[in-house]
Amino acid sequence: MHVINAENVNDAMAKGIDLILDQGVQVESRNGMTLEVPEPVATVYKNPYQRVLISYARDANPFFHLMESLWILAGRQDVKFLNEFNKRMVDFSDDGKVFNAPYGYRLRERFDDSGKCDFDQVAEVIAMLNRDPNSRQAVCQIWDTEDLNKDTKDKACNMSVVFRIRDSRLDMTVYNRSNDMIWGAYGANAVQFSMLQEYVAAHLDIEMGTYTQVSNSFHVYTEGPGGKVFRNLLEGFQHDINPYDYVNNTIIMAHEDMGNFESDLSQFFNIYDYYGLDEVGLTNYWESDYFKYLVNPMLSVYLMHKNLGPVEASNFTGWILADDWRIAANGWLTTRIENRAAK
């Protein structure tokens, strides 16, 4: 097994590129040719709070990553909400309405959709670790045995999440069967699961420890859209620059504010379900700092981009008080401005 010890997601990407170039071998997949590391790869994040990949070469969509993570924490399974931020998401649904293996739904509603077997694994883990901080049984399951032979566009890549408290900090390990380094490991997964870890840690009133992602198949695509982004990374990723040297202000979940966070999370999706995304953006009454100073500003800037364009939206990124998210949002909007100018 290869172990990548990383300060943050940007450091992980730089080291992952080097590992792929050094160890990667060609392996054909159902989605085209890949470069795959022959052994499993464990990425250990020292600072999982530093989850936002800041890179023009990667051009990751920070608005989508934040909103998808909230969607997971809310235990949802609908395609509609994610499609607001990424039109390709519908391609991973069998019926265009729900996903087969939505992480949040499986974590927070179990696998039974009849309403008779609701079981919130995340809440149970929090209760378990409150009762017994030394427990080694705080495991959340995502993979369903029915996935083995199921004909579906959406099989869970991340299979289970294990928590433990050591030295008064919450460590988390995620086990993944198939991990695209660019789109998954150092894109969506770094945000999704570190936010889950942050959520559990905030409820427990402890700090986050390490976040380890064990990837059984650690790979990149060399053809199609994935291949194009990989080539962009080879040409333009800044290996010797740590963007987090320029990050001073961050917005994190706080134990004393988690009741307000839960209320805001519920209100956010209730408004969306009844009135739509624009109405969520117009809502000013948020109780938690997380929604006041991060979620709402990010959504407002995204809606401005969606309705008026990237130039107009870029004038208002100052609303985003968290430096990491603001820098990433500015970069993503700048790329769209440049693309528009080049046409």
Cα 177 to its chain centre, rounded Å, is 17
What does the DSSP 8-state code read for residue 141?
A: E
What lies within 8 Å, CB to CB, of 205 at 6+ separation is: 255
253, 275 Cβ separation under 8 angstroms:
no
Q: Pairing state of beta strands 32-36 and 218-221?
A: antiparallel
| Token pair for 236 | 């333009």
The catalytically annotated residue of 13, 79, 157, 161 is 157
- Compute the half-sphere exposure of residue 319: CA atoms within 13 Å on the CB side of its CA: 17
The position carrying tokens 């608005």 is 63
Catalytic, 117? Answer: no
Query: What gap in Å lies between CA 105 and CA 197, rounded to an integer?
Result: 16
103, 142 Cβ separation under 8 angstroms:
yes
| DSSP labels, 66-103 | HHHHHHHHTT--BHHHHHTT-GGGGGG-SSSSB-SS-H
Q: Pairing state of beta strands 158-166 and 2-6?
A: unpaired
Residue type, 17: I
Residue type, 193: F
| 3-class SS of residue 137 | coil
What does the DSSP 8-state code read for residue 98?
A: B
| Residues known to be catalytic | 157
